[in-house]
Amino acid sequence: MALTVLAISFVVLVILGMPVAFAIGVSSLAAFIVLGDPFVVISHYMFSGVNSFLLVAIPMFVLAGDIMLHSGMTRTLTNFADLFVGRLRGGLGHTNIGGSVFFSGITGSATADTTAIGSIMIPAMADKGYGRAYSTAITVASSVIGPIIPPSLTFVIYALAVGNVSIGGLFIAGIVPGIITCIGLMVMNHIISSRRNYPKRDFSYTRSDILSITRKSIVVLVMPVIIAFGVISGIYTATEAAAVAAGYALVVALATRCITIKALPKIFFGAARTSSIMFFLLATSSLLSYILSTQGVPLKISSLMQSVTENPLVFLLVMNITLLLIGLVLDLFPAILIFGPIFAPIAQQYGIDPLHFGVIFCVNLVLGLNTPPVGSGLFVGASIGKVSVEELIREITPFIIMQLVVLMVITYLPFLTTLLPSMVGF
């Protein structure tokens, strides 16, 4: 009865437009009333959901990304990407994807990548003869690289939800899948650009231009290197790396006069607001997890999975389908917090490496950002690109198909995610 009340109230509240964090909290409260448990348990589990030193990483990574976003480094990174791929057919499309790869090492957020890269690349591509809907589609599609390549807020949230997987290990495990995703999107862009005869860069940079662009870019790109090196070498934890990243971003932005001291309060407030939303979501999701566990939901799902198949390869296929469907109707972070603690232990029973499953889990749900009906990436992209969602869906479909192919490669070639972590001791 409690689970029925929980499910119905949650669905109704979400349909009515209530924010997901509040919908989770209210529906959990309704389930508590049905169960008759003491209300003091509510505050206990909500507090325990945010009472972790690891959570310091969230506001620090958000702050680092916001500082770099407001510092106007996007143009520098897209110019740097253009040095390598601009002369290929569909060069600006390749530059868009490459810019997302470099920018992902700063923000770790798909929405931030769409906003920052899209505001520059969509008008530039449209001016060069690319369809505006296509320019928007490639921006939205490549933004999913942000939550895969470290630093990644998605991996931080997953590690916190699951509890028995290393954030640093997930960071390192995401590098190769992120690069493969980049290559897959570039292949698709090349195919479409060749078919539509989209242009390529018809000039060469001078040596002084190359040195200037590289020098400016290196200052920015050092940040993800600092994070990865510090975590791998053991100098600091992934949580401490977030603070280092925020400090480095602040020093670079002020030293290069990309932002002023007067702009800092607005940036700090924005980072605090974003972080508070995530913390409230963590608190209510912890309450939901308590209800699901006391009602034996994880055990029931585990028994169901094992009755379907004992083959880990078939289990991974079932998981991919299930998570893709979840991503269609539920936003990224709520989906991780609700289903991560349920599915991760089941994967371990099948002998699947925790880092490998973590990457598969997160990549599946990240793809949901680009799919209707609730894909936030679609609506953000449509707003920035000034195109209809229908046009955007039509143009982004080939890229989604390529991302699904990449997902299958990552799923069934586990060494792509586990080799680097094993080499550095995770």
9-61 pLDDT tens trace: 888 887 887 887 888 888 888 888 888 777 777 888 888 878 877 778 788 88
Instruction: Tell me the C-alpha distance between 26 and 13, whole Å.
Output: 9
Contact 111, 65 (CB under 8 A): no
Instruction: Tell whether the model's pLDDT for residue 401 goes beyond 70.
Output: yes
User: Per the domain annotation, does 269 fall within a domain?
Assistant: yes
Which range (189-198, 224-233, 335-344, 345-354) has the least confidence? Answer: 224-233
The pLDDT tens digits of the residues spanning 295-348 come to 887 778 878 777 878 899 999 999 999 998 888 877 788 888 888 888 999 999
Instruction: Tell whether the model's pLDDT for residue 191 goes beyond 90.
Output: yes
The pLDDT tens digits of the residues spanning 270-287 come to 888 888 887 888 888 888
User: Per the domain annotation, does 69 fall within a domain?
Assistant: yes
Average pLDDT in the chain = 83
Q: Token match 């989604």: residue?
A: 400
User: Per the domain annotation, does 36 fall within a domain?
Assistant: no
Q: What is the mean pLDDT of residues 150-166?
A: 84
The pLDDT tens digits of the residues spanning 66-98 come to 787 777 676 777 778 888 887 788 888 888 888
**Model pLDDT, residue 106:** 64
**Model pLDDT, residue 310:** 84
User: Per the domain annotation, does 163 fall within a domain?
Assistant: yes
What are the backbone angles phi and psi of residue 296, rounded to the nearest 5°?
A: 70, 25
Q: What is the mean pLDDT of residues 348-375?
A: 87
Burial 194-226 (b: 16+ CB within 10 A, else e): eeeebebbeeebeeeeeeebeebbeebbebbeb
**Model pLDDT, residue 107:** 61
User: Per the domain annotation, does 327 fall within a domain?
Assistant: yes
Contact 86, 92 (CB under 8 A): yes
Q: Measuring CA to CA, which residue among 88, 100, 10, 8 is closest to residue 288? A: 10
Q: What is the mean pLDDT of residues 102-113?
A: 68
**Model pLDDT, residue 108:** 61
**Model pLDDT, residue 227:** 76
Instruction: Tell me the C-alpha distance between 149 and 162, whole Å.
Output: 20
Number of structural domains in the chain: 1
Q: Token match 């308590």: residue?
A: 290
Share of the chain above pLDDT 90, in %: 18
pTM: 0.83
**Model pLDDT, residue 109:** 66
**Model pLDDT, residue 183:** 93
User: Per the domain annotation, does 48 fall within a domain?
Assistant: no
Residue span of the structural domain in which 102 resides: 54-283+296-423
Instruction: Tell whether the model's pLDDT for residue 190 goes beyond 80.
Output: yes
User: Per the domain annotation, does 38 fall within a domain?
Assistant: no
User: Per the domain annotation, does 251 fall within a domain?
Assistant: yes
User: Where does the pLDDT of residue 411 fall: very low under 50, low under 70, confident under 90, or very high at 90 and above?
Assistant: very high
Contact 420, 173 (CB under 8 A): yes
